[in-house]
Amino acid sequence: MTGILQDDTELFKQFSDNDSFRRWLTDTVFALTYGEGRSV
């Protein structure tokens, strides 16, 4: 359980502190959600 919490904390820290990581993660999630070829 502690390992999961540490991973989530590190993810949040990177997202908050690292602009390039935030942009990459946002773009990746957007592409996976709304990307071409996605059927509704």
- CA 32 to CA 28: how far, in whole Å? 6
Number of residues in the chain? 40
- CA 30 to CA 34: how far, in whole Å? 6
- CA 10 to CA 23: how far, in whole Å? 16
pLDDT for res 28: 96
Q: pLDDT per residue over 1-40, tens digit each?
A: 787 788 899 999 999 999 999 999 999 999 999 987 655 5
pLDDT for res 20: 98
pLDDT for res 25: 96
pLDDT for res 3: 79
Q: Is this model's pTM higher than 0.85 or not?
A: no
Question: Three-class SS of residue 38?
Answer: coil
Cβ distance 26 to 19 under 8 Å?
A: no
pLDDT for res 4: 78
